[in-house]
Structure 1
Amino acid sequence: MRDGRRERSVFLGLLPWPEQVRVARALRTETVGGLVLLAAAVVALVWANTPWSGTYEDIRDFHFGIPALGLDLSVGHWTADGLLAVFFLVAGIELKRELVVGELRTPATAALPVVAALCGMAVPAAVYLATTGIGGGNGQGWAVPMATDIAFALAVLAVLSTHLPSALRAFLLTLAVVDDLGAILVIAVFFTSDLNPVALAGAVAGLVVFSLLQRFRVRGWWWYVPLGVVIWALMYNGGVHATVAGVAMGLILRTTRDEGEDASPGERTEHLLRPVSAGVAVPLFALFAAGVSVSTEALGEVFTRPEPLGVVLGLVVGKTVGIFAGTYLAARFTRARLNPDLAWADVFALAVLAGIGFTVALLIGELAFTDPADVEHIKAAVLLGSLIAAAGAALLIKRRNGIYRRLWEAETRDDDADGIPDIYQRTASGRDGVEGTS
């Protein structure tokens, strides 16, 4: 209605101060981790295209573990199935926090980022299927271009030295959290094989014990770490990708504080593991997943074979169209009012940036294809699509960086040096323009 009885919510407005602090802390770690990830990817590409590429493959394919427990894996598989479980554990905690106390706790605030993320998953998959359908290819890699790599995207922003407002960064973070959940659901449902009911039952029993420990407020890492390792091993032997164990435990951890608590178990775990995830787990996975042979012939096949072409178009075109259209339509139907300091061009630039789909895209590519040659082509397509998306976003964001700098300076200005920016003290509660989705 247009009679003013219902105030329109503000989309991408100023974040509440507690949320601003939390987002800034999380993104600072992810940005540093993203730069390490970028360096690891470059090292992998260079290493795999030198005369020492054989050494790279030998290390990646070297097996170790405990065969008697079904855990005799290659280095590459340990990074994908083991270290990425830490990444998804942190993602699960972040999602739980968003659902319980964050931007996704109410339908009104959740509508925009959730609709945008869902469209940002569905449209790339549709673009991939349309491309492979027209080209007579295989549609099994439809999930590869679905997920956004928040660390890589933030690394691009850091390299560009941009001053993107916190609301835009928070929106990008929420998009990545939601489509990480979508990706893990896809992995759990579509990429399971040779299920072992006994092992899966053991994993579920372990998760129940994990939940009971949380419910009865049992503290001490010596309870949770061994139990988490057992759940992970049982999930792996059960035929479900082991990263599902990570996100399940993350969703179980309590993210609300009891009276007298300085931090919830979820907050403490995230604080400890986010640097490990961003600075160690994801870069090591990239080091052993991004090493593909780059040649004129290989790059040519990316654009001539339907499967890799579908991945590139899904990331570059599908992500952009899906996120932008989903956001615009959701804003219209929820009557959300875009922050007057920003324009829809800023949302479009963010949608282009979300086409960087590195870590999870590489993981799903390895799961979706069994032929090593096909996996190499898909990996090359992910790298190329992410590079095109990064370059396009860089051009769009740089054009608006003067505006972003002005907004960023207003958000961070603290003339009285009390640790709280002045913009939050010009209103009684620091809620100027934050009553809607941010």
Structure 2
Amino acid sequence: MTITITNIKRIGSDQTESVTIENGTIKGWNLPAEGETIDGQGGTVAPAFTELHAHLREPGQTEKEDLSSGLAAAAAGGYGTVVSMPNTSPVVDDPAIVRSLIQKAQGLGFARLRPAAALTRGQQGEALAELTYLKEAGAAMFTDDGRTNENARTLRLGLETAASLGMVVSVHAEDASLRADGVMNEGAVSEALGLPGNPAAAEAARVARDIEIVAGLHAQGRPARLHIQHLSTARALDLVREAKKRGLSVTCEVCPHHLTLTDEALRSFDAIYKVAPPLRTQADAEHLLEGLRDGSVDCLATDHAPHTRAEKERDLLEAPSGIAYIELAFPLMYTRFGESLGLERIIELMTTAPARVMGWPEPSLEAGAPADLVVLDLETERTVEPATFRSKAKFTPWAGESLKGWPLLTVVDGKVAYRRV
């Protein structure tokens, strides 16, 4: 299969070019057009984005999302590869489930799926899952996301085993006893609203513990790779900075919702703003943004977490945590932080950076590279209309906002996975 995309620009250039794609590979630039010709409408081309943290809810929770809707939403957001979390029903702790998810996703024609598998059986935090067989089946990483790893000894063994397999362990770093029944950030706003708070110390204490586990293994010549999910507090980021200075293999991600929203949003008592870890303070958000600038934060991830509207319309004490917005991630980041971070840095945080975290080949637009790319409209402002989402979660905190940077075209493995009409 051959396609040629015309009328596109590379980052930092005003020159209009074309790229020819053949059999899943970039054949070259500015060649005579071959095969199907697609007008890139003057958009800017970049490697397709990589998402390391998304909840696609399959198997067993498909009323919230399924592979088809979730991977279609990802492609509409410019993503070529998505790592799905294993906290499904049943949990993804069986090699057969990993293989079935990959096989099903391959037939859909949207973003590529690389499922994460559970670190422990049933995500119960006690006995390790069959990590070797899960890797052989195609698992991308190991994580008990959706639960916190309370048993430090089991986490240590998991990190050590994963390292022997060349794999990353990704953690939801919150101390469950400190978090308790908190539904929002513990602070002035939670006190004013009379709602139970989740203190920043819950995250920082667990990050500190997990880093020390990695440090102990490192000192014994057994380096392990720890990735900390959805970092939300200034103190936790400072702990990661210190770990990096110590030469430890510790990486972290930050989500756009923790950069663009704060606990002040909960004054509405709207559970659409309830997430785990919770929205923090403006000072935390600014500290995280600085971490994106100075490289302390390794990459961006969305923690795309769809629920039904009925679930999110419950009160704050009962509603589940999660925001679904994988289709908006780049437009939101580019509109809010395009000037302060720069286009190239935002794209790096969504492409090269997650590949580095995982130890995957860095994406490229050069001839011979895999044909995973996105064409972005950096000029046109469009209103966020949740009714048009590919995701089943057709509601968002940013509904009605004007954003720019919307994907026009996403190509995955040389095939069109999304095209704006």
Report the TM-score range of the alignment, normalised by the length of the smaller protein: under 0.3
TM score, norm. by length of structure 1? 0.25
Structure with bigger helix share is 1
Higher relative contact order (CA 8 A, sep 6+): 1
The structure with the larger Rg is 1
